Amino acid sequence: MPAPAANIVFVLNGPNLNLLGTREPDIYGHDTLDDIAGQLEDRARALGLEIDMRQSNHEGHLIDWLHEAQATRAKAVLLNAGGFTHTSVALHDAIKSVTTPVIEVHLSNPHAREAFRHTSLVGQAARGTIAGFGALSYLLALEAAARF
């Protein structure tokens, strides 16, 4: 694959992540998605990167954005697929179909939760997974992406 056209990292967020800060804060924390975006933008600047942060409750949007990351030669994708993590063969296949490195991100630790969350179809296709550190999970994933 050719070198990235720009140092852009896509940050894709799936269903219900628009409710961060109010949705089960004992599990997901009090940071909103906008709070996390601000933290990522600050760190990205220091790393010489740009962030393209997006959220959708629709699986097809996430797939289209993965394809767009490939087409624009983005440096990497950070993907928090939310509930689609455990169910979406289509997202798994989309990740496998692009050469852009994808890092799976989770605020909570899925392995410390309900049994149905222990299987990640996204993680089986992703370059790596960072989970369980709240909003810091995104920043750790960005640090990893900066090294690609």
Residues taking part in catalysis: 28, 106
Query: Do residues 77 and 52 lie in contact, with contact meaning Cβ atoms separated by under 8 Å?
Result: no
The CA distance from 71 to 37, in Å, is 23
Q: Are 47 and 110 in contact (CB under 8 A)?
A: no
Strand partners, 55: 13
Tokens at 10, concatenated: 């896509």
